[in-house]
Structure 1
Amino acid sequence: MELNNEEGLSLENKHKKERKELQAKIQGLKKSAKNDKSKKKEVSAEIARLEADLETRHKNEIENIQEINLKETDIVEPDVIVNNTVNKVSKAQKRRDKKLLEDRDREERIKLQEKENEHGPRNTELQCINSKLKERNLSIYKIASDGDCLYKAISHQLKTVRDIALDVEELRQKAAQYMRINKDEFMPFLSHPDTFDMLTDIEFDDYCDKITNTKVWGGQLEVRALSNCLKCPITIIQATGPDAIEQGLEFDGPPLIIAYHRHMYSLGEHYNSTQALIQDEPE
């Protein structure tokens, strides 16, 4: 079944815009890994995941609207024919029919959303991460999604695994300080979000200032900085790509193990910490 014209054009324009935004993001990722072979492999995997996620979501959105349109065709026309006589439906009855249609649409949307959530990217990702953690006798330790999730996860791991107490502010300062001292190591992996050009020295300093003074989200570069300045291995468990990303393997001692989620919250990417698996703990 085809979409009606208004819905079809609206959804098509939305999909075109999202595909255009994805291509811009892909170009930025490619530029960030231009001169780093090891980074290129990671970026290629990330690009493949982004393209697959977008294609799946677009397909689901089209199918959802098609099912809703199909339901609408089941509603009886306002004028009912009985024994070859047209019985005019009252305005009150038409309002009731309209409300019935709206209620059916709402219920159908709820059912479709529940079905999508059950097998959606968030739950699928969570089940995969839980399975990988279980192999290590670990489970997720939930961290609030407030911009500090990486630093809170590392802080929890330091205390749990190594009995070292460092709060979020201290970890942010250490990461920024290490990146400033080792600018040449990090500059090639940072680009301006609008131009995708490598950051200038001033922009790099501003980037480090934001790590220290704001709740800006931390990523792979900050993980590397923390691993190196703490002289501690850090392992990141994720659902797609390599089972785990390991940083600082040259350092001794047990690794800090955290989980990386791409679909945990609507705001985007998120880090959780981990803890020892409790017997018979539900996933």
Structure 2
Amino acid sequence: MEEGTVATPEELLLKQHRKEKKDLQAKIQSMKNAVPKNDKKRRKQLTDEIAKLEADISNRHEEEFRQLKSTTDTKVEELINGAETMKVEGGEQEDIQQLRVTKAQKRRDKKAAQEKERESRIAEAEMLNLQGERHQEGLRLAQKLAQQQLQIKEISSDGHCMYRAIEDQLAQRSKPELTMSVKELRSRTADHMRSHADDFLPFLTNPTTGDMYTPDEFEKYCSDVEHTAAWGGQLELRALTQVLHLPIEVIQADSPAIRIGEEYASEPITLVYMHHAYGLGEHYNSVEQLKDPAAAGDS
């Protein structure tokens, strides 16, 4: 920031929030260091406590940004009204009192204004992020997963996210016989749906007419599943449980977990379904074991 300039309220609040987040991380590290690594029960309690602390500070920061914005809007309006009054009362005195501004001063003023604008954009972006549905959904999911000693493992958003998440889950099992690529998962899904058409065809309807798919439309649907980046949903998940002979559990932020393939007693494949991830909305992620608290604090 240019020497001599005054920080805006948004900049000051952002600076305060950064310090509070840094202090919280120091506190969390101290809490982690106080719990023995072999005390699994206390570590689980600690994970829940940390998730609550992080959620609390995010919600408080969001509210403080909201209140500041409301206050700032009111002050700006008052300043505008005051300036109009001074202009009327001052008349020609305004011209007499103006100082000549050198080119160097203009450059300094311009640079200071640009710096202020940049800081304001950072503050606004952080406020929008805290208020954003994606951020809030992520916090709720993190709290749910922490109760199972799990955390989100990000999967790329390219139309194959459901299959990539399942591919990742199978790879985590360290059983070569279960390992499948996205291409193979899509192919096996499509083949299973074709060979069990009576189980899937009744749930597919033409979006224009509302009629159940014809055999040709169903084959086109299966072909898209196999050969394109067509997004996967509950029908494909049902087919995959039968292909893999494994149950699939889908965790959501605001709804109970969905379990498909309950006829299989094995440990389920666990996916996270997000309603507000990325620009297109819905998205699947994988999960992984929650990092060791001590290790996570050092990273």
The answer as to 2:196 corresponding to 1:190 is: no
Q: Which residue of 2 aligns with 1:35?
A: none
The answer as to 2:221 corresponding to 1:207 is: yes
Distance 1:70 1:131, change over 3 A: same
The answer as to 2:256 corresponding to 1:249 is: no
Q: Partners in 1 of 2:227 and 2:85 — Cα distance?
A: 63
Give the deviation of 1:204 after TM superposition. 1.7
Specify the code of the residue in structure 2 equivalent to 1:190. Answer: L
Count of matched residue positions in the alignment of Structure 1 and Structure 2: 216
Q: Partners in 1 of 2:286 and 2:264 — Cα distance?
A: 20
Which digits, 9 at most, give the CA deviation of each residue in 1:70-124, with x for residues without a partner? Answer: 676344449923445585799xx9xx9xxx9999999767644422311321111
Unaligned residue ranges in structure 2 (runs of 5+): 1-66, 107-111
Structure having the larger proportion of residues in helix: 2
**What is the RMSD of the two structures over their aligned residues, measured on CA atoms?**
3.8
Q: Partners in 2 of 1:234 and 1:162 — Cα distance?
A: 18
Specify the code of the residue in structure 2 equivalent to 1:136. Answer: Q
Q: Partners in 2 of 1:263 and 1:208 — Cα distance?
A: 27
The answer as to 2:164 corresponding to 1:152 is: yes
1:90-109 paired onto structure 2 within 5 Å: none
Which structure: larger Rg? 2
Q: Which residue of 1 aligns with 2:134?
A: 122
Q: 1:272 aligns with which of 285, 294, 297?
A: 285
Specify the code of the residue in structure 1 equivalent to 2:240. Answer: L
Q: Partners in 1 of 2:204 and 2:75 — Cα distance?
A: 50
Q: Partners in 1 of 2:136 and 2:280 — Cα distance?
A: 18
Q: Partners in 2 of 1:203 and 1:192 — Cα distance?
A: 8
Q: Partners in 2 of 1:88 and 1:78 — Cα distance?
A: 16
Q: Partners in 2 of 1:160 and 1:233 — Cα distance?
A: 15
**Sequence identity (%):** 38
Q: TM-score when scaled to structure 2?
A: 0.60
Q: 2:273 aligns with which of 255, 260, 282?
A: 260
* Structure 2 SS opposite 1:81: helix
Give the deviation of 1:206 after TM superposition. 1.0
Q: TM-score when scaled to structure 1?
A: 0.63
Q: Partners in 2 of 1:251 and 1:160 — Cα distance?
A: 19
* Structure 1 SS opposite 2:163: helix
Q: Which moved more, 1:203-212 or 1:183-192?
A: 183-192
Q: Partners in 1 of 2:161 and 2:262 — Cα distance?
A: 23
Unaligned residue ranges in structure 1 (runs of 5+): 1-62
Specify the code of the residue in structure 1 equivalent to 2:134. Answer: R
Specify the code of the residue in structure 2 equivalent to 1:256. Answer: I
